[in-house]
Amino acid sequence: METKEFTIKWGMAIDLDKCTGCGACMVACQAENNLAPIADASNKIKVMNWITVYELSNGKPYPEHDVAYLPRPCQQCGHPPCVSVCPVIATDKNEEGGIVSQVTPRCIGCRYCMAACPYHARYFNWRDPVWPGGLEKALTPDVSVRPRGVVEKCTFCHHRWMAAKDKAIVEGRDPMDLAEGEYVTSCTEACPNGAITFGDLNNEDHEVAKLASSKYAHRLLERLGADTQVYYVSRREWVLRQLDNYLEDEKVKG
Amino acid sequence: MAVDRRGFLKFVAGATTGVLATPVPWKLLDDVSIWTQNWPWIPRNVDGENSYVSTISKLCPSAAGMKVRLVGPRPVRVLPDDNHPLSMGGITALAAAEVQLMYSPSRVKRPLKHAGDGAFVAISWEEAEKMLKENLRRAGSKVAYVSGDETGTINELLSGMAKESGSEDFYVMPSEVQPAARAFASMNGNGQLGYDIENSDYVFAIGANILESWGTVLRNRAAYKNSHPAAEKPTVKFVYAGPVQNNTAAGSDEWLPAKSGTEAIVAMGIANLLIKAGATIDAPDFAEFKALAAQFTPQKVAALAGVTPAKLKAITAELSKAKRPVVLTGSEFGQGTGVATVLAGTAVNMLLGGFGREGGVTAIPLAPKVIASGMDRAEIADKDLVAYLSRISAGKVATPRAMVFYEANPVYGLPQPAAMAKVMDKVPFKVAFTSFLDETAEACDLILPTPLGLERFDDVESPYGINQAFYGLARPVAPCVIDGKPAADVLLGVAGQLNMDLGFETFEEVLQAKAEAAGADWDSLMEGEFFTSDAVAEQSDLRIAADVIGKALAAAPKPAKLSIAPVQKLNIGTPNTAIPPYNNKTIRRWELQKNEMYVAMNGATARELGVVKHQRIKLSNSSGSIQARVNIFEGVMPNTIAVLMGFGHTAFDEFSKGKGENVMELLTVGYEAGTGQSVWNVAGVNVSKA
Ligand code: SF4
């Protein structure tokens, strides 16, 4: 399948050597995108997270053990497996910027997209969201609240892009020519370690584009060919090796 | 008209094509999916104008600088603040949840008093203040105040009230602050130790969990961010020594496994090697220190701390080679360490020429106190809450008649909490100023709801760890969502009625005076600016306090055969916040399952204990016991069990209550020889199958 090309391609480079697994990005994401809290969050299959931080291990015993943390937002595939299976075009890859959309009011909850997504980036609302104790008063106006029965996922804080474009238009600037950093996702902004770099992969001046072409940059399950817009950077071979299925004697670039 | 089979099939085909061609079913499907999402109980977006207020967190122990986003009058997000020295463009997992905590189901909504039958009944503020005043009057000098705030001027107010009523019993909840302040005082130091991580070229953290919870974390992490450019070789090496490959170890360029509570021993081992290589300190007790350090041979350090001699030598060589190395010592769980830990670390910094050097250790001046009868930070650091409660328990000091808890949760957060709670049980009148219905509040006779830091005026003066004097205000970004009153206002009112002379009528006046004493400009503080100063505290006759280190280490408890390593993570909250609603999703799968917590050990330890992953075990020692399941994590030292802090709340709400058990139950209090400082960083434990 051809990858649809866009002038701007929003992307991320996450340095797995810099992430310490603190979870600030996960909390910031939930507050920004109006995810509902849940009393028992230990059943990870039923818990909604647009970004989740996984723990990686080099598999070696003490004292050779090494650990890494992998934050996983939606990978915003170039040819997204979820889009082709959606019967109602509730999810699409059609808009400038290359963000895979998720139109929840259109979703009929069939969950084909969840089965198709290789990254487990999609979540189904098994229950209606509940905001105890008046917590709904802290909802942002940017992202509508989703009811039971629909699928949702990370949108790269798409509303922030809209806001940045609006601001540029009001200021008489070209909304398609935003300065680097004018639009970043909530997780990028929150991370105290600067582990996440966000920007336009098509703009050579953007840090993210430089990082994406680094020899240490790999994508998750790259050989599936989904052509994702999220890059993972690590100078550790064992970390890179876990991003895809390698044969034992196969070399990993980087 | 008769319809034959062919005709019928044609009709079906036509009908099907028709149905597919008309938009009606698709429109219906679309409508159905939209209409079935339009339930009245699903909240709608409420729009409004965006505004941003710069302030500082009073909930996060890191005193995170932050920008609060408001939509119309409603605060909705806590965002990082690029220009704030205590945020530097980052936010902690705890501070990020602060707006949402305003609406926590655990918030105390109005004053409550304990009725005879154990239930709480709502009372008016008038009645509450009367009750407080009468009980304080009745208690006279037999009153104790406990604060959970490390950086606020409210401590001067609380200690001033104690002193005005003739009591010396004012305490702050234990943290890294007390041992550090006492250490520097025993060196004849003046001011507070600060660490210039951002200008250092080699950062060695012994115990101190600098990338997760130690000191001004966001500042530490910004230094880490800047020295670790993505996809490039780090420009500064970070090394972490501790028993568990925790978040700091995960980010560090090297993890040096070292047993819990052996930080001072590791530092002395390094000091010994540095001295052997010719390093000296210009201090009167250097000879004594040299002799003491000589005892800590690499072999001895290996035996006591589990650090291999080769590693110790390699780190020492790297430290000597670095131009601006800095060593940070502390407890890997932010409390319970001794004075010697900080002294030994400071001695290493001095041997490395790092005292007063850029990228090393500095002494920052602290603002003088403004409430004459109150205690200053040095005096406060000398007050040891755990020791005080233990003395009451042993009958060595009288039980107070009244105890005032200010945003402190000792019933959950102290070591051996059950024993501590028993002591508090004996106190006839207890009052909690708190935002949340925590364990301590539940044990109190009177609960007075305080506005959160986002809803009140408060201040932060130079949190421990920062390398420059700092003063900033927390400002109310929105009206208080509950019927709360700032504790300071209530206390000043009561103090006035009890004829105490604190010198101020309102807390705002106190803060204004403090700002002036710190050298800050009130008007700009009120606009969200903050004050910093590069002034350093003058020192004279600085010593190493070798005698203090010597005494403490001579009697240091031997590491147990099987020991506990508590692990602190800010995302799981503090004793004051418990687990914020959004944060329980950040708890890992094999940290908690339903209400059962997991503890981690490496495979060899598990084999030795005869346990496997997911197995239920009981951890017990003379202090108490907890139950947990086993997780195998190879980033734990042998014969060590890593236990997360922050679980096992018996109060708060469905996001925290009853989840796992409280590791503090297993931490046994001891006293550091020489200084008498209460310590609980070494705890042995037995494991049995549950
Ligand atoms: S905020 Fe940054 S360091 Fe923390 S878990 Fe997320 S990516 Fe990792």
CB B396 within 8 A of CB B184: no
Does residue B358 sit in the same domain as residue B435? no
The reply to whether residue B91 touches residue A28, judged by beta carbons under 8 angstroms, is: yes
Size of interface A-B (CB pairs under 8 A): 247
**What is the amino acid identity at position A196?**
I
Residues of chain B contacting A67 with CB distance shorter than 8 Å: 245, 249-250, 635
What is the spatial distance between Cα A242 and Cα A233, in angstroms, rounded to a whole number? 12
Query: What CATH number is attached to the domain comprising A171?
Result: 3.30.70.20
Handedness of CA B351, B352, B353, B358 (dihedral sign): negative
Do B252 and B328 lie in one domain? The reply is yes
B511 and B659 share one domain: no
How far does the centroid of ligand 1 lie from the alpha carbon of residue B412, in Å?
A: 28
Contacts of B20 (CB under 8 A, 6+ apart): none
| Res B27: pLDDT | 79
Positions in chain A whose pLDDT score sits under 70: 1-3, 254
Domain residue limits at A92: 10-241
Q: What percent of chain B has pLDDT over 70?
A: 99
User: What pLDDT, on a 0 to 100 scale, did the predictor assign at position A28?
Assistant: 98
Ligand 1 midpoint to CA B217 (Å): 13
- Give me ligand 1 centre to Cα B154, in Å: 34
- Same domain membership, residue B342 and residue B382: no
- The pLDDT, as a whole number, for residue A45 is 83
Alpha-carbon gap, residue B493 to B129, rounded angstroms: 9
Claim to verify: residue B521 and residue B592 sit in the same structural domain: no
Which tokens hold the place of A24?
């600030």
Within a domain: residue A53? yes
Q: Helices in B394-430 by DSSP H: which ranges?
A: 410-413, 417-425
DSSP letter assigned to residue A223 = G
The reply to whether B106 falls in a domain is no
What is the dihedral sign for C-alpha A226, A232, A238, A242?
A: negative
Domain boundary among B320, B344, B364: B364
Summarised one tens digit per residue, pLDDT across range B491-509 is 999 999 999 999 999 999 9
Find the mean pLDDT for residues B96-109.
Answer: 97
Q: CA-to-CA distance for B51 and B72, rounded, in angstroms?
A: 8
Residue B12: φ, ψ to 5°: -60, -45
ipTM of the assembly?
0.97
Domain hosting B90: range is 50-101
Report yes or no on A189 lying in a domain.
yes
Cα–Cα distances (Å) from B349 to A20, A34, B274, B357, B593, in that order, read 26, 47, 11, 10, 43
Res B211: pLDDT? 98
B535 in a domain, yes or no?
no
Question: Does residue B640 sit in the same domain as residue B561?
Answer: yes
Interface mutation vs chain A, best among B585, B588, B607, B637, most A CBs within 10 Å: B585
Nearest atom of ligand 1 to the alpha carbon of A28: 1
Q: Are residues B327 and B211 in the same domain?
A: yes
- B31, B41, B71, B76, best to mutate vs chain A, most A CBs in 10 Å: B76
| Atom number, ligand 1, closest to the C-alpha of residue A18 | 3
- Do B490 and B577 share a domain, yes or no? no
Q: Look up the CATH number of the domain holding residue B523.
A: 3.40.50.740
pLDDT digits (tens, 9 = 90+) for B148-182: 999 999 999 999 999 999 999 999 999 999 999 99
Measured between alpha carbons, how far is B453 from B436 in angstroms, rounded to an integer?
A: 13
CA distance A9 to A118: 21
Domain-located, residue A5: no
For a ligand 1 pocket test, name from A22, A51, A52, A55 the mutation site with the most ligand atoms within 8 angstroms of its C-beta: A22
pLDDT for residue B1 is more than 70? no
Q: Find the length of chain A.
A: 254
In a domain? residue A194: yes
What is the mean pLDDT of the segment spanning B190-201?
A: 98
Same-domain check for residues B579 and B611? yes
Listing DSSP states for B566-611 in one string gives: EE--GGG--TTT-S-GGGGGGS-TTTEETTEEEEEE-HHHHHHHT-
Q: Do A138 and B76 touch (CB under 8 A)?
A: yes
Choose, out of B49, B79, B91, the residue to mutate when testing the contact with A (most A CBs < 10 Å).
B91
The reply to whether residue A190 touches residue B80, judged by beta carbons under 8 angstroms, is yes
Q: Rounded to the nearest whole angstrom, what is the distance from the C-alpha of residue B604 to the centroid of ligand 1?
A: 30
Atom of ligand 1 nearest to the CA of A190: 1
**From the CB of A23, is ligand 1 less than 6 Å away?**
yes
Whether residue B548 lies inside any domain: the answer is no
Answer whether residue A252 is part of any domain: no
For residue A16, the distance in angstroms to the closest alpha carbon of chain B comes to 9
Q: Taking CB atoms and an 8 Å limit, are B634 and A60 in contact across chains?
A: yes
Domain count, chain A: 1
Q: Is residue B241 part of a domain?
A: yes
Same domain, B299 and B343: yes
User: Is B92 in Cβ contact with A22 (below 8 Å)?
Assistant: yes
B55 is a domain residue: yes
Closest to B296 (Cα-Cα) out of B340, B350, B252? B340
What mean pLDDT value characterizes chain B?
Answer: 95
Pocket of ligand 1 contains residue A189 by CB under 6 Å? no
- Taking residues B42-51, what's their average pLDDT? 91
B353 touches chain A (CB under 8 A): no
| Sheet containing B237-242, strands listed edge to edge, beginning at the edge strand earlier in sequence | B254-257, B237-242, B202-206, B325-329
Residues of B in contact with A35 (CB under 8 A): 582
User: Does ligand 1 have an atom closer than 6 angstroms to the CB of A99?
Assistant: no
Domain presence at residue A249: no
Residue A31 within any structural domain of the chain = yes
A193 in ligand 1 pocket by Cβ < 6 Å? yes
* B668 and B521 inside one domain: no
The confidence score (pLDDT) of residue B30 equals 75
Q: B71, A40: Cβ pair inside 8 Å?
A: no
Q: With respect to residue A251, please indicate whether it lies within any of the assigned structural domains.
A: no
Q: How far is the CA of A15 from the centre of ligand 1 (A)?
A: 10
Q: How confident is the model at residue B462 (pLDDT cuts 50, 70, 90)?
A: very high
**pLDDT score, position B19:** 66
Same domain, B182 and B171: no
In terms of residues, how long is chain B? 690
B134 contact A CB<8A: no
Confidence of residue B558 (pLDDT cuts 50, 70, 90): confident
* Residue-level pLDDT at B115: 86
A22 CB neighbours in chain B (<8 A) are: 92-93, 211-212, 247, 569-571
Q: What is the count of structural domains for chain B?
A: 5
| Gap from CA of A163 to ligand 1 centroid (Å) | 24
Ligand 1 lined by A21 (C-beta under 6 Å): yes
Percent of the residues in chain B that have a pLDDT greater than 90, as a whole number: 91
What integer pLDDT is reported at residue B593 of this predicted model?
98
Report pLDDT for B603.
98
Based on its alpha-carbon atoms, the radius of gyration of chain B, rounded to whole angstroms, reads: 28
Tell me how far apart the alpha carbons of residues A170 and A173 are, in angstroms, rounded to a whole number.
Answer: 8
Chain A contact set for B435 (CB, 8 A): none
A69 CB neighbours in chain B (<8 A) are 250
- The two structure tokens encoding residue A95: 């808009």
Inter-residue contact A12 to A208 (CB < 8 Å): yes
* Shortest CA gap B42–chain A (Å): 7
Residues of A in contact with B571 (CB under 8 A): 22-24, 27
Beta bridge partners of B579: none
